[in-house]
Structure 1
Amino acid sequence: MQATHIPTRSELVRRASEIIPVLQEHAHWNEEHRRIHDESIEALRQAGLFRLRMPQRYGGYESDTRTLVEVLAELGQGDGSTAWVAWVLAGNTWLVGMFPDAVQNEVFATPDVRVSGTLSPTGKAEYQDGGFTISGKWHFHSGSLHSQWSLMAAMSTTPEGTPTPLVALIPTKELEVVDDWNTAGLKGTGSVSSVARKVFVPAERMLPALSILQGQSASKQNAGVPIYRSPMVPAIAAAASGVPLGLAKAAMANFFQRLPERGIAYTNYARQAEAPITHLQVAEATMKIDEADFHSSRAATLVDTKAESDDTWTLEERARVRMDTAMVARLAKEAIDILNTASGGSSIYSHVPMQRIERDIQAANLQGMMHPNTNLELYGRIRCGLEPNTVNI
């Protein structure tokens, strides 16, 4: 069960970079069919990228957050939807590492297993001898079309009558798919809704949501592994920043790819590259991408440093990771908006990646864990000495 070779960060980033052409080739198909192409999923598998957050004893790499961010930033340069799904699958695979070891043995018996999920507690869990019966409907179930297992949150009631959220690990095939993913952006993620109708889940495949939020693992074998000492929200939020960063870099690459052949309509600039406005646009977009890279790097470094030292997190540190992720999303969007504006009317054709990148970054900025307004407000509250207005920190 031991991995024969643990790739270095640079090797994993190189593998991700090498499959960018495959992801680009299928990006338009992904949008049209509202799911990731099987060849893109297979490319991720062959590159070993489903093993990033899997325990080493099952052949995984136990990669740190910085590695995950850099890999996702490469994938985002190929296709934002594919990078998004890779982020979700990596995060949920990591969460399985907090379940009891016997449960991990069952899940990770499948090579390159994929685990999706959504932790909004919109389901209901009712106690039954030996476990719980789960019913409910969950939206935004990214990765479910490609996963064998799903982590779904549901509300239960303690013996004292107190509502409490639980997380259930369910075989994805036991959930019904609601084909409702008709969206403006990140169309290729296939983030359909899922329904459970009285699905029985054994007690060992249930964990309190608050334990997961605090990084309290039920695994004995993972107890000393640094990546499993991180609270959930900072770890997953920091990793998420790789996706918008990759989209911004993709926009810049696409802009320069088209630049030599473009003029500026209704001006005497036969070559767009000679216009001062182009120089200002390129410089400003570049600086915003550099700033986004800073926030992404700072968030990942904090998560990894805390995991290695096992130091206690402060509220401000937790909120700052969410704020950093929000700033990556906002700065990436601002950079892409500049480059999209500079790309002219011809960029609205569906075969031009810029228009897809623009829609994807708009959608990414609306996701709760990345939403700039939500996360900057949270950070500001704590800086001002107030209590957080959420448990998701």
Structure 2
Amino acid sequence: MPQESTPSGSELVGRAAELRELIRSKVAWSQDNRRLHGDVVAAMSDAGVFAMRTPARYGGHESDARTVMDVLATLAEADGSTAWNAAVWSVGNWIASLFPDGVQDQVFERRGARVCAVLSPTASATPNEGGLVVNGRWPFTSGAGHSHWQCVMAMAPAPDGTPWPVMALVPMDQLGVVDDWHSAGLSATGSVTTVATDLFVPEERVLPLPEVLAGRYASRRNADSPVFSAPLVPTGCATFSGVAVGLATAARDTFLERLPDRKITYTDYAGQSDAPVTHLQVAEATVLLEETRFHARRVAGLVDRKGATGEVWKLEDRVLARVTLGRTFDLAKRSVAVLAEASGGSSLHRSVLIGRVHRDVQALNLHALMHPSTNYELYGRVLCGLEPNTSYL
């Protein structure tokens, strides 16, 4: 596949900014249909969003973590569901780039390929000649309807016979779908349940999760890439943080845009902007937004710096990435909540952005990887000299 010139990070962010008007124009349709509008997906593909974490030999950009985070934040300013799906596809494409090079040829032969992923092993796999037979279901498969492949997880026998989790790449047309995504937040992500029934997966499309978490990947051609040699979980932390930044930014900007025309009902203030409580709310939300950006940039910078220098990832670094992710989403939720409370009853209308942002950021704080309390506990355990109680590091 011929390679095009790689756009700079600022160029990709600029392209994402140009998509915001289209994204906003399709939000109502996407919310009603519980998935992204096809025009939005096509426009993101044309803008190179899905190429950010595709290897350069397939026409991808191999963008650094800061660029990916900034692009996703820009998209989230228009719509959280759009940015979340883009984040999932970024991580999914990155995961596909860990598999043997011949498998990557299959995945990325389609320009603009999109790989969704669920990292919970909610299925079982039994050995069969040349591979595994998989049976199970994966709830919360974001973007399934617009994906070409899915990275699924299942429990399979390890070489010693004990069970261990494995990752497998599966074409979407080999999976069933249960259309069960009816949610309060992130309602346009199409996070349905996918199903495998006696699905054979050849062994070259299977990777043991413990090997992946240890950084032992199967791709030879990507082995020296600072992007594709980074650890899985910190890469995900840096990626998803961008969505938090964009949502908190959208809430603050939307509040200020609406402010000149708003009053505080049942008070004598000529306008909401005259009230001292509004000054306190805007200040608090803005400071929380600035702290959200700091932590998102911190984890992206950590991934990029270690990728560039080849530094070893220590336990402390990996735990820091997790707690920084949790802190980012915690701060974003707090920032949005302050302004949502100050936005009055009109924000309950679906057409008002700040209400949707509030629901989306609450939904993301419930995600197992982002959940603030889980990440704070993990960080505290290690600070207290205990072993981490998870392998997802």
- Give the TM-score normalised by structure 2: 0.98
Alignment of 1:101-140 (within 5 A): 101-140=101-140
Rounded Cα–Cα distance in structure 2 between residues aligned with 1:384 and 1:60: 42
Instruction: Say if 2:71 is the partner of 1:56.
Output: no
Residue 228 of structure 2: SS of its match in structure 1? helix
Which position in structure 2 is the counterpart of 1:238?
A: 238
Which position in structure 2 is the counterpart of 1:302?
A: 302
Residue identity opposite 2:207 in structure 1: L
Which position in structure 2 is the counterpart of 1:84?
A: 84
Which position in structure 2 is the counterpart of 1:38?
A: 38
Residue identity opposite 2:251 in structure 1: A
Rounded Cα–Cα distance in structure 2 between residues aligned with 1:257 and 1:49: 28
Instruction: Say if 2:368 is the partner of 1:368.
Output: yes
Q: Percent identity?
A: 48
Deviation of 1:143 (Å)? 1.4
Which position in structure 2 is the counterpart of 1:311?
A: 311
Which position in structure 2 is the counterpart of 1:23?
A: 23
Residue 120 of structure 1: SS of its match in structure 2? coil
Rounded Cα–Cα distance in structure 1 between residues aligned with 2:274 and 2:178: 51
Rounded Cα–Cα distance in structure 2 between residues aligned with 1:104 and 1:170: 12
Which position in structure 1 is the counterpart of 2:199?
A: 199
Residue 335 of structure 1: SS of its match in structure 2? helix
Residue 155 of structure 1: SS of its match in structure 2? strand
Rounded Cα–Cα distance in structure 2 between residues aligned with 1:142 and 1:185: 13
The one-character-per-residue Cα deviations of 1:195-215 (angstroms, maximum 9, x if unpaired) are 100111111111111122223
Rounded Cα–Cα distance in structure 2 between residues aligned with 1:102 and 1:347: 51
Alignment of 1:129-278 (within 5 A): 129-278=129-278
Rounded Cα–Cα distance in structure 1 between residues aligned with 2:362 and 2:291: 18
The one-character-per-residue Cα deviations of 1:135-189 (angstroms, maximum 9, x if unpaired) are 1011111111100101001111134321111111000111110011111111111
The one-character-per-residue Cα deviations of 1:273-311 (angstroms, maximum 9, x if unpaired) are 111111111111000000000000010000111111221
Q: Residues 159 and 213 (structure 1 numbering): CA distance in 2 closer, same or farther, change over 3 Å?
A: closer
Rounded Cα–Cα distance in structure 2 between residues aligned with 1:98 and 1:141: 20
Rounded Cα–Cα distance in structure 1 between residues aligned with 2:349 and 2:25: 16
Deviation of 1:2 (Å)? 4.2
Residue 234 of structure 1: SS of its match in structure 2? helix
Which position in structure 2 is the counterpart of 1:289?
A: 289
CA root-mean-square deviation: 0.9
Residue 120 of structure 2: SS of its match in structure 1? strand
Rounded Cα–Cα distance in structure 1 between residues aligned with 2:43 and 2:339: 29
Which position in structure 1 is the counterpart of 2:388?
A: 388
Which position in structure 2 is the counterpart of 1:320?
A: 320
For the Cα contact (< 8 Å) 1:238–1:325, is it kept in 2?
yes
Q: Which moved more, 1:80-89 or 1:341-350?
A: 341-350
Instruction: Say if 2:5 is the partner of 1:5.
Output: yes
Rounded Cα–Cα distance in structure 2 between residues aligned with 1:186 and 1:349: 16
Rounded Cα–Cα distance in structure 1 between residues aligned with 2:50 and 2:137: 26
Rounded Cα–Cα distance in structure 1 between residues aligned with 2:159 and 2:152: 22
- Give the TM-score normalised by structure 1: 0.98
Residue identity opposite 2:367 in structure 1: Q
Rounded Cα–Cα distance in structure 2 between residues aligned with 1:160 and 1:104: 28
- Length, aligned pairs only: 393
Residue identity opposite 2:278 in structure 1: T
Rounded Cα–Cα distance in structure 2 between residues aligned with 1:391 and 1:286: 35
Question: Which 4+ residue blocks in structure 1 deviate beyond 3 angstroms?
Answer: none
Residue 241 of structure 1: SS of its match in structure 2? helix
Rounded Cα–Cα distance in structure 2 between residues aligned with 1:86 and 1:159: 36
Structure 1, unaligned runs of 5 or more: none
Rounded Cα–Cα distance in structure 1 between residues aligned with 2:95 and 2:159: 26
Residue 222 of structure 1: SS of its match in structure 2? coil
The one-character-per-residue Cα deviations of 1:102-153 (angstroms, maximum 9, x if unpaired) are 1111111000001012111111111111111111011111111100101001
